[in-house]
Structure 1
């Protein structure tokens, strides 16, 4: 397994991973709005500060994007691992690298929104110290909010 910065050539594969992952929860990906961070993954005009992909044997199996919000706060988007590859530590390694890169970008707090029924992801967040906050508004496209304080 390798984790690396996303390239423009990864855009299609990352979208496919996200579409398949969301579909398994009965959700549709919308790369123009709610899932725009992954829609822009690897592209020149991307608003993402950090874009990572995970590969196994040359196949893209996971992705994430981090966008800076206000000040030193950033938001994690599009963190997905292909279901056939889950349980192998790929998600944990991908998320750990995203967190490490956020620290090098002087981010002091990461935030994310997710669905409670995404049990594996929720378990991973909580095991890494993410703290659940007030639930997001329904139009956010999620039902849970988490934040993680990062070391300075």
Structure 2
């Protein structure tokens, strides 16, 4: 019988090592496809202060050995709106459904935090991510639906999900 790897365990960020893994996973894909911006550095450099303390969360996925192989952030905005952001899956763990599990866990966690609506920004060249978000129920929206005025220029595809 072939060996089937144990599924990753997804939970909230708890340690400085988790924060480092969150930063490393995101910097890898952002720098490979785009440019890491100052706004990225602020959030990635202090996820506890910039995401968790203001009312959001960072979820990390761990392999059976405890290594962080994926992550996703939920940033709190006014009026019970949350942003799904900074999702990354380690290259060696891609193609196994972990991204889908992270999105589902993030939507569930956003509801626990009281979200009425989730939004995200992505880029049209990230076709697999767009399909993943659409499969989870996100729909495309115009820029004027965003709860923030100054949003990433690289985000040319904006989406939302009603959580209520």
Q: Same fold (TM over 0.5)?
A: yes
Q: Measure the CA separation in 1 of the matches of 2:109 and 2:44.
A: 17
TM-score (norm 2): 0.80
List aligned pairs for 1:79-98, cutoff 5 A. 79-98=87-106
Structure 2 unaligned blocks of 5 or more: 1-7
- 1:2 is matched with 9
RMSD of equivalent CA atoms: 2.0
Aligned to 2:71: 63
CA distance in 2, matches of 1:67, 1:103: 13
Query: In structure 2, which of residues 36, 42, 46 is the aligned counterpart of residue 36 of structure 1?
Result: 42
- What TM-score do the two structures reach when normalised by structure 1? 0.86
Matched, 1:140 2:152: yes
The superposition leaves residues 94-145 of structure 1 with CA deviations (integer Å, 9 ceiling, x where unpaired) of: 1111110111111010001111111111110011110011158896231111
* From 107, 113, 117, the counterpart of 1:109: 117
Aligned residue-pair number: 147
Radius of gyration: which is bigger?
A: 2
Instruction: Work out the CA distance in 1 between the residues paired with 2:124 and 2:71.
Output: 20
CA distance in 2, matches of 1:64, 1:35: 15
Deviation (angstroms), 1:28: 2.6
Task: Tell me, yes or no, if structure 1 residue 54 matches structure 2 residue 58.
Answer: no
Asked if structure 2 preserves the Cα contact closer than 8 Å seen for 1:19 and 1:28, the reply is no
Give the gaps of 5 or more residues in structure 1. none
